[in-house]
Amino acid sequence: MRIIILGAGRVGESVAESLVSEQNDITLVDPDPELLRDLEDRLDLRGVPGNGIQPSVLRRAGAEDADLFVACAALDETNLTACKVAHDVFGIPITVARLRSPEFIEGDALLGKTGFGVTHVICPEESVMHYIHKLIDYPEALQVLEFSRSRAHLIAMRAAQGSALVNHTIGEFRHLFPWAEMRVVAVYRQDAEVPVAPDTRVLAGDEVFVLADKEKIRDVLRAIHNHDQPVRRVMIAGGGKVGLRLARSLVGQCQVKIIERDHKRCTYLAGELPSDMLVLEGDSADENLLLDEGVGQMDLFISLTNDDEDNILSAMLAKRLGAKRVIALINRRIYAEMMQGSTIDIAISPAQTVIGELLVHVRRGALAAVHSLRRGEAEALEGVARGDAKSSQLVGRRIEQVKLPDGARFGVIVRGDGHNCEVLMPHHDLVIQEADHIIIFIPNKRLLKPVEKLFQVSASFF
């Protein structure tokens, strides 16, 4: 696929790195030639220096033959204008704009074909806020991903010592938790994947990925951890765009304290948030400040400043001072990888939270959702079964008749719409029907193409 990315900042770089690894033809446009040369040396892509809103620059980038245009420059107005040029001048079929302003909502006529020509909107700040909110809703989870209009959830959890999972085989789970039906799709032990089979035994420290009906998720977590303690006290380090969005979303749900070092920003936050949310001016890595504000009584400490090092330091300090769980926002991929398995419970990369939104447009076949897992090493994708027994490799066939590549695994099947929707476990004799939403776990990207082909309808397939 020929893809042009505008903006070589942190989001643009991460998006390019993720898409290059899948053998796409990537061209990166940015005004800074030195930055582009550095990325060309590290990644298999072409850099074009210049202003991305100018047709001549986009023409040099290959816009006349491009399949996808992703505008993730720093300014909303730059991204909107660039998408307009890409759509109207060059007819690029899919244009994606990174927009921070909540005034622009996907689907509005202003962004449509007669407006700015934006096919899809991504907002890393909104995606991060939503991601963290899910972790607050399900405090025992390491990751929570949604499929089929949130009807099915994929949850990653740590099998802690004393957990009901530990020292039991996957085959025993159905008898241990008959009221909490789940599907185990992956187990990782010390960063290595463990083959998933009925006789696979879960050990303390294992990272376990399970799929379940949204209505059963709390039952699953309660069964595994023997308790369901909601998050009530939250401390947020950093009152920027993400911190403010998150605080607003927690009104009426949690007691929130925000630490922000900039005086003017503190004044602004105090005016934007309810009076019962405490805004503190100070350094989130100040041990005395954290102790004075009771960080040891916090259910969750979240570090969301613009500085990776500050986020890492303050989260590690909060954990040492007694915070039950800590989350750090980390932009640099290498830092995020280093923090996995450390005293920081969860490291969040803004680019990784939005990459799935882009991958839906890159993947082929009738795909409804794609989520990147384990720092891009694995994926969970949701495809829609289309066609009939003659034109589809899925419709009308039993699960046992569908040949997935070695390592790929069926998650769950979501059938129906609205109130009639049901989440089905993929037992061997379950027959796939037209319009079923099928969630498949893929441990390695080299397995993507054969899985994508399963969802492609062919008139000549028999």
Q: Two tokens at 231?
A: 């998050």
Establish if 428 belongs to a structural domain: yes
Residue 461 predicted with pLDDT over 50:
no
> Residues 417, 419, 420, CA angle at the centre, nearest 5°?
60
Same domain, 300 and 400: no
Residue 106 predicted with pLDDT over 60:
yes
Domain final residue, candidates 319, 336, 352: 352
Mean pLDDT of 75-102: 94
Mean pLDDT of 299-305: 96
Tell me what percent of the residues of the chain surpass a pLDDT of 70.
97
Q: How many C-beta atoms lie closer than 10 Å to residue 274's C-beta?
A: 11
The CATH number of whichever domain residue 385 belongs to comes to 3.30.70.1450
Mean pLDDT across the chain: 89
Same domain, 41 and 116: yes
Q: What is the pLDDT of residues 162-181, one digit of tens each?
A: 888 889 999 998 888 888 88
Same domain, 112 and 160: no
Establish if 460 belongs to a structural domain: no
Residue 460 predicted with pLDDT over 60:
no
Residue 227 predicted with pLDDT over 70:
no
Answer yes or no: are the C-beta atoms of 186 and 195 closer than 8 Å.
no
Same domain, 276 and 341: yes
Answer yes or no: are the C-beta atoms of 348 and 364 closer than 8 Å.
no
The CATH number of whichever domain residue 271 belongs to comes to 3.40.50.720
The one-character DSSP state at 103 is T
pLDDT band at residue 61, thresholds of 50, 70 and 90?
very high
pLDDT given at position 139: 86
Q: How far apart are CA 214 and CA 320, in angstroms?
A: 34
Secondary structure (H, E, C), 397-451: CEHHHCCCCCCCEEEEEEECCHHHCEEECCCCCCECCCCCEEEEEECCHHHHHHH
pLDDT given at position 353: 78
Q: What is the pLDDT of residues 367-420, one digit of tens each?
A: 788 888 877 778 899 999 988 888 899 999 999 999 999 889 999 999 988 777
Residue 341 predicted with pLDDT over 70:
no
3-state secondary structure of 37: helix
pLDDT given at position 226: 66
377 or 297: which leads in pLDDT: 297
Residue 462 predicted with pLDDT over 60:
no
pLDDT given at position 177: 84
Domain final residue, candidates 188, 207, 225: 225
End-to-end, the C-alpha distance of the chain in Å comes to 28
Total number of domains in the chain: 4
Answer yes or no: are the C-beta atoms of 4 and 29 closer than 8 Å.
yes
Same domain, 65 and 100: yes
Answer yes or no: are the C-beta atoms of 437 and 403 closer than 8 Å.
no
Question: Among 39-43, 235-239, 243-247, 333-337, which is the least confidently predicted range?
Answer: 333-337
What number of residues does the chain have? 462
Residue 326 belongs to what domain range? Answer: 233-352
Domain final residue, candidates 225, 248, 275: 225
pLDDT band at residue 366, thresholds of 50, 70 and 90?
low
pLDDT given at position 87: 96
pLDDT given at position 364: 59
